[in-house]
Chain A
Amino acid sequence: MSEFKTIDARNTFCPGPLMELITYMKQAAVGDTLELLSTDNGTASDVPEWIDKVGHEMISSEKVGEVWHMKVRKLK
């Protein structure tokens, strides 16, 4: 059974949110979905780049108000 987890990294600057995501990604199981909340605009372009390089799946990324919501799935 895959799990869904939200990581609240609002109000931290680069590379804080990305490092938070990577920390939780290491602990997650294959198939789990993680949602990263971030107010850092640089993170919004860095996360898809990291996901692409490492080989996970970017599900969605949208800005709601001041907060980026980025959903990713662990693939390996």
Chain B
Amino acid sequence: MSQNYHIVCLTGTREKLQMAAMFASVAAATGDRVTVFFSMNALPFFIKNSVQQPPVESRFGEMIESEVGVPPFKQLFKSAAELGDAKLLPCSMALDLLKITKEALDPEFGPPTGLTRFLNDAEGGQLLTF
């Protein structure tokens, strides 16, 4: 039976973004409905053509960076959207603070979303926070 997952990405570190992307891609490709809400320090890494890389928290982040065979988190989020119709939603407040519009983000991103809308959609589903 398919589930309804809402993933909240807040922390802009390699480990958190990687784990959130793994959850999103596998769940979406398995037929679960996945919505990922990006805010705070996690959002700026999805600005188009951004070369900025998230800092590592500790040893695992370093291992992820040094192994060439680890799928990059951006690619996993993209797969989640393309293979499993996951919705990637930027927080409207974070866009306002960054003084950018949705067009400045990677093309997989959906419309700017406020908390009221997100909470309404998330009702009754699973919420995972990174």
On whether the beta carbons of B67 and A19 are closer than 8 Å, the reply is: no
Contact, CB under 8 Å: A26 / B71? no
In the complex, per-residue mask of B54-86: 1 if CB is within 8 Å of any chain A CB, else 0: 000000000000011111000010010001000
Q: What are the 8 A-B residue pairs with the smallest beta carbon separation, nearest first?
A: A12-B69, A16-B71, A22-B29, A11-B69, A13-B70, A15-B26, A13-B69, A19-B79
Q: CB-CB < 8 A to A19: which residues of B?
A: 25-26, 29, 71, 76, 79, 83
Q: Is the CB of B22 within 8 A of A15?
A: yes
Q: Is the CB of A54 within 8 A of B25?
A: no
- CA of A15 to CA of B76 in the docked complex: distance in angstroms? 9
User: Using a CB-CB cutoff of 8 Å, which residues 43-62 of chain A contact chain B?
Assistant: 46, 50, 53-54
Determine if B31 is an interface residue (Cβ-Cβ < 8 Å): yes
A2 to chain B, nearest CB (A): 22
Q: Is B101 an interface residue (CB 8 A)?
A: no
| A10 to B, closest residue via Cβ | B69
Question: From A9, which residue of chain B is reached at the shortest CB distance?
Answer: B69
B55 CB, nearest partner CB in chain A, Å: 21
Q: Is B30 an interface residue (CB 8 A)?
A: yes
Count of interface residues, chain B, beta-carbon cutoff 8 Å: 14
Q: In the complex, A16→B76 CA distance in Å?
A: 8
Would you call B30 and A16 a contact (CB within 8 A)?
no
A53, B25: Cβ atoms closer than 8 Å: no
Interface residues of A in 1-43 (CB under 8 A from B): 11-16, 18-19, 22-23, 26
27 interchain pairs, CB-CB under 8 A: A11-B68, A11-B69, A12-B70, A12-B71, A13-B67, A13-B70, A14-B22, A15-B22, A16-B69, A16-B70, A16-B71, A18-B26, A18-B29, A19-B25, A19-B26, A19-B29, A19-B76, A19-B83, A22-B29, A23-B83, A46-B26, A50-B26, A50-B29, A50-B30, A53-B30, A53-B31, A54-B31
